[in-house]
Structure 1
């Protein structure tokens, strides 16, 4: 691997990472906000909102090798862009305390792949791609990453790693350094290009998570689910295997398909990549290793002052996983943002043994977090949102 990781040649230190306010061309130009001014905006505990993320960009806590575009800033997160090359590695890894990602890549890289105008990332292989963005977080601030919705629905396992990282998708308090995406296509080989958005990151100041009592108070004021909520370490949700119309309850990824070009939206016929899953008795059998797209029975709402993260339910209810893309923005399913509750799409993979999944079985939970301040834009209203008011829906790359 070439020394220095080409594409990550960003000056060190917070001064070298500073990014300017927006200019007429839609990018960000010379810094205008002091750190003291920014801290006045972001010290309220909670998940940072869009305007606060912009303040971090303007003050240099978020930098990049290319100007950060305004459309990357979402109501409660920042979309992260792929850099210009991928490293095919022998195995997934975490750097561990005292070690950098670059050091581990020196040990594990098999070959380097320029992404250029597009390169195939093959199913079953592990790649590490330096991201364009990097961080210099202030003390007391952490961050967490997740695959974007369309990434999860493609079964494209994508996780962020950092220097000295001991967990995937978690950025330590005060972290300063580069960001990397580990990408492992599970069901479909994909064509990837520089600048594409596969992951997103949120920023947390202080305590953000709502306990069960606080969540019940939120529900009393703005219902977070249709019907009676199941609240225990978050909002429990179940699977819908008795649709109101027909017997189509989900999709199962085919094992042998063509590639999916991530740049193509509404392009691929679903039947070339997916088998329909139908049932008339409210149950299906999950096959080990197979990937399914299913839907929650509940219609979920994220009020404007909250965000949410999908988390596993208890392993004792079954050996399967129901989330790959985990963040829900403020306004998801909220009536004031064009939704009257939205179903959650479940990305399900069964482990080890076949498992009978029943209608109404609780399969996951949403952990709600308070926002540091209300976002300027909400999901489904001020921003274009592919999945507001969604039903059973595949990734945006497929027709229909």
Structure 2
């Protein structure tokens, strides 16, 4: 069983209005399933996370000539007919190759009420493989956005960028959050929350109230000082590595897929163009039980690299009411057209906190099988621990 909310959280939940706005917790998502607003084959309850729903690949994939958005008044199926090069059967597993774009009808579909909308993101393990994954719905003019009242199928666009992968029907690569109203938290409220519970833990390179930089969310910085016994600053994906079977957990030797990056005495790292890196934040972050968060770019004007492939942080991530330790954020980083210098402590992203409509009845953590609840510099769940 997962960890239960403490007395303070339970008291806040009991005092909350029954239909307050915010990100929907798992018990509210279960109600959407019971009411037929979320539909699909099999036991949908197994897909429900503390504040999101896992989405499963369907039985076939389409290799596309180009990525697309259907546009207002158009269906994804119409665009697939226009851009599909060939169809791939996923029921027994199929190879999705680096440099190719695929679209997969998902096993779930929606019939949402007029007050409920959705936002999707890749799962953590998907982002750490640089498997670019985006949700598309009929009539969409944006990726990863489900408008309020949407009724129809769901599709995942997949583009392996670092490793070719073997994918099967039923594999979960992205997740969907549901929300009512505007759940965002202003900086002033986030400052108060930090003073009350501490959003930055004591286990990072900087701790305490002075370590929390709050500017349009909680700013976090990159740690290039070295972590673990080998003082590693990160990992860089090898080119031309073997195929990764997405169904195999803890199976692969990471040394066959990743080059370790030793910490520089100067605390610097030059990102090579179009290469993929796994790094870690200096801060250890804490997500209180009645909040969720999303990683977003620190400043889009920097423009030379991207730190945002799997951005959802569940309620309870890094949280322990008896300790203020927190958990580091793992950063999936890809440089763009030119080499770019990163420095230890440089701001690279922000966590935007969002209120939940109610406290989840289960929180993120080992009790519900969460893979990254105590992570530091951690590769995806498909790999054995480094040096094991």
User: Please, what TM-score do these two structures have when normalized by structure 1?
Assistant: 0.88
Gaps of 5+ in 2: 1-15, 202-206
Q: CA deviation at 1:336?
A: 3.6
In the alignment, structure 1 residue 79 sits paired with structure 2 residue 64:
no
CA distance in 1 between partners of 2:144 and 2:17 (Å): 25
Q: Give the one of 131, 139, 142 matched to 1:156.
A: 131
In the alignment, structure 1 residue 255 sits paired with structure 2 residue 248:
no
Alignment-derived partner of residue 265 in structure 1: 249
Alignment-derived partner of residue 44 in structure 1: 20
Contact in 1 for aligned 2:105/2:155 (Cα 8 Å): yes
Alignment-derived partner of residue 149 in structure 2: 174
Q: CA deviation at 1:71?
A: 2.4
In the alignment, structure 1 residue 216 sits paired with structure 2 residue 200:
no
- Which segment is superposed worse, 343-352 or 313-322? 313-322
Alignment-derived partner of residue 109 in structure 1: 84
Q: CA deviation at 1:265?
A: 0.7
Alignment of 1:2-151 (within 5 A): 43-64=19-40, 66-151=41-126
Contact in 1 for aligned 2:227/2:233 (Cα 8 Å): no
CA distance in 1 between partners of 2:36 and 2:49 (Å): 18
Query: SS of the residue aligned with 2:239?
Result: coil
Q: CA deviation at 1:254?
A: 0.6
CA distance in 1 between partners of 2:53 and 2:117 (Å): 14
Query: SS of the residue aligned with 2:69?
Result: coil
CA distance in 2 between partners of 1:127 and 1:190 (Å): 12
Q: CA deviation at 1:59?
A: 0.2
Distance change (3 Å), C-alpha of 1:191 and 1:219: same
In the alignment, structure 1 residue 311 sits paired with structure 2 residue 296:
yes
Contact in 2 for aligned 1:147/1:325 (Cα 8 Å): yes
Contact in 1 for aligned 2:130/2:276 (Cα 8 Å): yes
Distance change (3 Å), C-alpha of 1:218 and 1:69: same
In the alignment, structure 1 residue 370 sits paired with structure 2 residue 329:
no
Query: SS of the residue aligned with 1:57?
Result: helix
CA distance in 1 between partners of 2:21 and 2:239 (Å): 45
Deviations 1:92-147 (CA, angstroms, capped at 9, x unpaired): 11001010000000100000001111100011100000000011111121100000
CA distance in 2 between partners of 1:102 and 1:41 (Å): 41
Query: SS of the residue aligned with 1:132?
Result: strand
Distance change (3 Å), C-alpha of 1:339 and 1:379: farther
Q: Give the one of 216, 219, 236 matched to 1:236.
A: 219
Contact in 2 for aligned 1:318/1:355 (Cα 8 Å): no
Q: Runs of at least 4 residues of structure 1 off by over 4 A?
A: none
Q: CA deviation at 1:225?
A: 0.8
Deviations 1:234-290 (CA, angstroms, capped at 9, x unpaired): 110000001355431100001111100001111111111111111232001000100
Alignment-derived partner of residue 6 in structure 2: none
Distance change (3 Å), C-alpha of 1:69 and 1:135: closer
Q: Give the one of 318, 323, 326 matched to 2:308.
A: 323
CA distance in 2 between partners of 1:252 and 1:93 (Å): 29
Of structures 1 and 2, the one scoring higher in RCO (CA 8 A, sep 6+) is 2
Contact in 2 for aligned 1:339/1:388 (Cα 8 Å): no
Alignment-derived partner of residue 206 in structure 1: 181
In the alignment, structure 1 residue 389 sits paired with structure 2 residue 374:
yes
Distance change (3 Å), C-alpha of 1:244 and 1:272: closer
Gaps of 5+ in 1: 1-39
Distance change (3 Å), C-alpha of 1:207 and 1:150: same
Alignment-derived partner of residue 341 in structure 2: 356
Deviations 1:7-65 (CA, angstroms, capped at 9, x unpaired): xxxxxxxxxxxxxxxxxxxxxxxxxxxxxxxxx9973200000000000000011011x
Q: CA deviation at 1:342?
A: 0.3
Alignment-derived partner of residue 166 in structure 2: 191
Aligned Cα root-mean-square deviation (Å) = 1.6
